[in-house]
Structure 1
């Protein structure tokens, strides 16, 4: 294996990697849940703040920025409104974190064992591993992601009575494909995102290592890597959210005038033509704010849990 490939994929057994990734995802999700709800509400808001006519015709609340959205949700829905969709999201993050790190480790080791790829530069290895790992994890957990979005998009009027009811209703009214609306946008976004994230993360770790204090270099590397990757692929994230709420319940969410979209390219084109570039990046600020604690907590927790598991293994072997 190339010597400059970072230790993330070399440390621990597959089980230890899966456990560390799952715990990291679970803890991270709990911390950033309110920011996630705010981001989704902003992404689903179809209007231009500079166009008074657009605002006047808006069917649903008018959210003005991160703080304005936070205050509106607290005032109209209470503090629990900030954790709407948290149950499927927690399940998604738990499964996603485990699948992501496991797939990343497996692909990295596979590339290292193949004669034509074992001498790949560390950045190339990380990009391929991160991209494929992210695609696998996204596909496996996508139904939970869709449920998270739909619950977060609910206002004071509930669309689904419960998580079980939502699964039953979607299965009956939309079929199996209903759980995968927008998957192509998700995969198209996660491949470059995870590739860029892991490549940036592992490139930044040795640079920031000399400034490490109590593991802060891991957190800082995670923050910077996530911000760069998130900004690059954000329009696809907005597209995914718009597609996830399509279907028979489209007009029942907090915004009742979300257009009917039929595919990734059509959605991107429609948003660009009718809402402009700002429409594609609506909610980016809160997304980046979310990315900082999410990535920092994820990577810091992953490294700490892995270190604890390795220490436990050494202790058991010594007895």
Structure 2
């Protein structure tokens, strides 16, 4: 994502390292919002009377019941998974981007979207599905009266023992769709906005950090509203009871639409919006600052 001249390719190892650092930092900071979003999508964020809680109320109740640590159930899996995911995403995106650039080193919005789609699909298969499955099951389990999982390692062993290694890849279809759409929209939005913003700064100079953060945050807003249905289906397909309730992702989407209404596909938008606004700003800012450091020592 950093600026390059002409058709010069960015260094894969530098992209991998900078992306991993950016992904780990971003996921730890924003995980509480991810936890609240998942609880709302499952319908477990309810009051004693059964009334759905707002994101803020769900946040307060989780802290009141289980302390701040309750907001970080499944966090370890996500931090590790996001570090790997972001490393894969930025590395593959940078390589796709370099291959799709014109002779002047420019990338059109459609080509940027295509590069993002490829990067998203790669990260979905390599890193996202297993880490998201573990995170989702651990958050749902933590809401039970008697949680079954005693930490991430025990949770993984239990899932594998009961469902086999395929259990870690439950919902891989919707994850590929979500990550492909996420990256396609996010990278194309970011690249387009960045190119527009670069016209307002001195030629050859880097964008200031606050501007990079703002562009990344705006790309996050666009991403949320266009890909939310994929996220809802993905969450349901990775639940503890998914095998009993849904035959596949299409059956899951059909049941949500017919039994709960189409608007249910945008349930949990507020906490996800808050997370991706912060996520977009943090991850692009950290990456843009970290890449030159790693590039200076990478072969």
TM-score range, shorter chain: 0.7 to 0.9
1:151 is matched with which residue?
138
SS of the equivalent of 2:150 reads coil
For 1:119-178, what per-residue CA distance to the aligned partner results, in whole angstroms no more than 9, with x for missing partners?
Answer: 995212211111111111111111111101111222152121232222222222111221
1:52 is matched with which residue?
none
2:212 is matched with which residue?
218
8 Å CA contact 1:46–1:275 kept in 2: the answer is no
For 1:100-132, what per-residue CA distance to the aligned partner results, in whole angstroms no more than 9, with x for missing partners?
Answer: 11111222233359xxx9999521221111111
TM-score normalised by L of structure 2: 0.87
8 Å CA contact 2:114–2:184 kept in 1: the answer is yes
Larger radius of gyration: 1
Matches within 5 A, 1:277-292: 277-292=262-277
Q: Which one of 158, 168, 187 corresponds to residue 198 of structure 1?
A: 187
Q: Which one of 129, 136, 152 corresponds to residue 122 of structure 2?
A: 136
Q: Which one of 221, 238, 248 corresponds to residue 244 of structure 1?
A: 238
SS of the equivalent of 1:157 reads coil
Residues 178 and 247 (structure 1), Cα distance of their counterparts in 2 relative to 1, 3 Å cut: farther
RMSD: 3.0
Residues 46 and 89 (structure 1), Cα distance of their counterparts in 2 relative to 1, 3 Å cut: closer
8 Å CA contact 2:120–2:179 kept in 1: the answer is yes
Distance in 1, matches of 2:194 and 2:139, equals: 34
8 Å CA contact 1:189–1:233 kept in 2: the answer is yes
Residues 18 and 119 (structure 1), Cα distance of their counterparts in 2 relative to 1, 3 Å cut: closer
1:13 is matched with which residue?
11
For 1:212-266, what per-residue CA distance to the aligned partner results, in whole angstroms no more than 9, with x for missing partners?
Answer: 8732221111111121122111011011101101448x8xxxxxxxx71121111
1:264 is matched with which residue?
249
Matches within 5 A, 1:65-80: 65-80=54-69
For 1:175-230, what per-residue CA distance to the aligned partner results, in whole angstroms no more than 9, with x for missing partners?
Answer: 12211111101111221221111111000012233278732221111111121122
1:108 is matched with which residue?
97
8 Å CA contact 1:111–1:118 kept in 2: the answer is no
Question: 1:305 offset after TM fit, Å?
Answer: 0.6
In structure 2, stretches of 5+ residues that fail to align are none
Question: 1:16 offset after TM fit, Å?
Answer: 0.8
Distance in 2, matches of 1:14 and 1:121, equals: 19
8 Å CA contact 1:181–1:246 kept in 2: the answer is no
In structure 1, stretches of 5+ residues that fail to align are 50-54, 251-258
